[in-house]
């Protein structure tokens, strides 16, 4: 068994969907689980729909019509037969969405988010599966929610590995091509959960683990894993091979090419992960495996829209274990992830993503017991295998507000000078 993952960019329009078919034709008679994300930027659009439904920021029906039109434009280009069953199937799916946003919310924002945003993957996989069958690339569609079981932590579902393993038994014997969704799971109450943004990579790793697959391939619009994001660097280099450890570190620090939770399940069973180009599928790409050697060149990771928060006791007493335990509990409760942290005698500083849904509530709660200062519009720069020259290169015209160094990694929170 092989597991392939195609992200939103690889199914963003009709030509992209056809290209998925061309790639699958390169692997005739193989048993492949194909994990597919929502098309293009549909997840962002569904987040807008959730906000419109929950906060009434804009007209939810208008947002939903945009999403419908986008998908039906793709379907019209893929299917010459306008009576094809996919039209009815999509119409029924969108009717479900219309019903979901008709009345006022009855659950928490995170619960409503997962029920609405998960529809992107269900719609994209139905379209791709129908097109592939029409193109004589025979496949079966599978609802991932019946396999990947999680707890009730909405937007960050925690996988029930034992139950998921049991439910994967039939899948591991499946022949041919199986099309399923990334990013989503199901609960024991038959609600939908999501695994965190960009969680389709993680889905691929879960299914590879539970089916003992021989490999996972993530198909991207880049030739492999690069040592920096081309958005930030004119000159980037492809990494031919990466250790599981370096891949985990890079993903943890924010490298967008791989979801942070992806590597561990694969490492546990020594399943190699390939990152390859869907534009040039015959190119070698990058392999992530159990190689032990460090990377030969520095790797750069940039995270923008950061907020640096400084937390101090109101009585200027020491920051001690008791304070830290309380602070971390609040971060966990508000589901705010810490990107880098540093503590001194009387303050604890962290850099976090500026999430307008979560951060104001966290800061307000912290202010009850602590003195809280913060700066926004900052950048977090992480360099793996750094030297002084690389630090100087990325901090030209920048002021460093926080710097944390270890043997192999430096993290810098900076603002424009």
**Domain locations in the chain?**
2-213, 299-416
Contacts of 180 (CB under 8 A, 6+ apart): 33, 34, 35, 36, 125, 141, 142, 143, 144, 147, 203, 207
- In angstroms, the CA 43 to CA 51 distance is 12
Contact 291, 241 (CB under 8 A): yes
Burial category of 175 from C-beta neighbours within 10 Å (exposed 0-12, middle 13-18, buried 19 and up):
exposed
CA dihedral 216, 220, 225, 230 (to 10 degrees): -170
71-120, pLDDT tens digit by residue?
Answer: 999 999 999 999 999 999 999 999 999 999 998 999 999 999 999 999 99
Contact 315, 303 (CB under 8 A): no
- In angstroms, the CA 134 to CA 78 distance is 9
Closest C-alpha among 155, 121, 98 to residue 337: 155
Most confident of 99-103, 128-132, 340-344, 368-372: 128-132
Q: Which CATH number applies to 2-213: 3.40.1160.10, 3.30.930.10, 3.40.50.620, 1.10.3720.10?
A: 3.40.1160.10
What pLDDT score was predicted for residue 258? 83
Query: What does DSSP assign to residue 40?
Result: T
- CATH architecture observed for domain 299-416: 2-Layer Sandwich (3.30)
Closest C-alpha among 239, 283, 278, 289 to residue 7: 278
Q: Which of 150-154, 157-161, 207-211, 232-236 has the lowest mean pLDDT?
A: 232-236
What pLDDT score was predicted for residue 78? 98
Q: Please report which helix (H) or strand (E) contains residue 45, including its range.
A: helix 42-55
290-327, pLDDT tens digit by residue?
Answer: 998 888 899 999 999 999 999 999 887 877 788 889 99
- Model pTM? 0.89
Query: What does DSSP assign to residue 278?
Result: S
Using 50, 70 and 90 to split pLDDT, how confident is the model at 252?
A: confident
Query: What does DSSP assign to residue 186?
Result: E
Contacts of 214 (CB under 8 A, 6+ apart): 1, 2, 271
Q: Please report which helix (H) or strand (E) contains residue 15, including its range.
A: helix 14-24
Residue with tokens 């694969």: 266
Q: Are strands 348-353 and 299-313 parallel, antiparallel or unpaired?
A: antiparallel
What pLDDT score was predicted for residue 319? 76
257-281, pLDDT tens digit by residue?
Answer: 788 899 999 999 999 999 999 999 9
Q: Which two tokens stand for residue 227?
A: 């040592």
Q: Which two tokens stand for residue 347?
A: 């303050």
- In angstroms, the CA 321 to CA 405 distance is 22
Mean pLDDT, rounded, for 53-71: 95
Contacts of 174 (CB under 8 A, 6+ apart): 1, 31, 33, 140
């Amino acid at each position: 068994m092989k597991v392939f993952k195609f992200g939103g960019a690889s199914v963003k329009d009709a030509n992209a969907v056809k290209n998925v078919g061309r790639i699958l034709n390169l692997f005739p008679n193989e048993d492949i689980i194909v994990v597919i994300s929502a098309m293009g930027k549909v997840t962002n659009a569904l987040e807008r729909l959730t906000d419109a439904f929950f906060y009434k920021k804009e007209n939810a029906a208008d947002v939903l019509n945009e999403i419908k039109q986008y998908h039906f434009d793709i379907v019209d280009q893929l299917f010459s037969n306008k009576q094809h069953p996919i039209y009815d199937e999509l119409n029924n799916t969108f009717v479900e969405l219309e019903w979901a946003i008709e009345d006022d919310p009855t659950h928490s924002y995170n619960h409503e988010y997962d029920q609405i945003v998960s529809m992107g993957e269900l719609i994209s996989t139905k379209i791709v599966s129908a097109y592939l069958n029409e193109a004589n690339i025979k496949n079966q569609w599978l609802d991932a929610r019946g396999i990947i079981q999680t707890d009730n932590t909405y937007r960050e579902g925690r996988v029930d590995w034992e139950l998921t393993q049991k439910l994967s038994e039939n899948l591991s014997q499946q022949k041919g091509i199986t099309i399923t969704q990334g990013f989503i799971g199901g609960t024991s109450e038959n609600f939908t959960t999501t695994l965190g943004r960009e969680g389709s990579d993680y889905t691929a790793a879960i299914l590879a683990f539970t089916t003992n697959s021989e490999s996972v391939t993530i198909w991207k619009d880049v030739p492999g894993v690069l040592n920096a994001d081309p958005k930030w660097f004119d000159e980037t280099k492809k990494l031919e091979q990466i250790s599981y450890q370096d891949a985990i570190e890079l993903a943890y620090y924010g490298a967008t090419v791989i979801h942070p939770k992806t590597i561990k399940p694969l490492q546990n069973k020594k399943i190699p992960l390939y990152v390859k180009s869907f534009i040039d599928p015959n190119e070698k790409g990058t392999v992530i495996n159990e190689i032990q050697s460090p990377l030969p060149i520095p790797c750069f990771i940039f995270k923008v829209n950061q907020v640096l928060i400084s937390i101090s006791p109101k009585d200027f007493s020491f920051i001690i274990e008791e304070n830290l335990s309380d602070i971390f509990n609040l971060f966990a409760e508000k589901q705010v992830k810490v990107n880098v942290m540093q503590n001194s005698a009387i303050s604890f500083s962290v850099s976090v993503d500026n999430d307008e849904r979560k951060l104001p509530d966290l800061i307000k709660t912290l202010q009850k017991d602590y003195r809280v200062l913060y700066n926004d519009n900052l950048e977090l720069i992480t360099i793996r295998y750094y030297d002084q020259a690389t630090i100087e290169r990325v901090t030209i015209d920048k002021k460093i507000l926080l710097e944390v160094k270890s043997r192999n990694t430096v993290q810098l929170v900076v603002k424009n000078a």
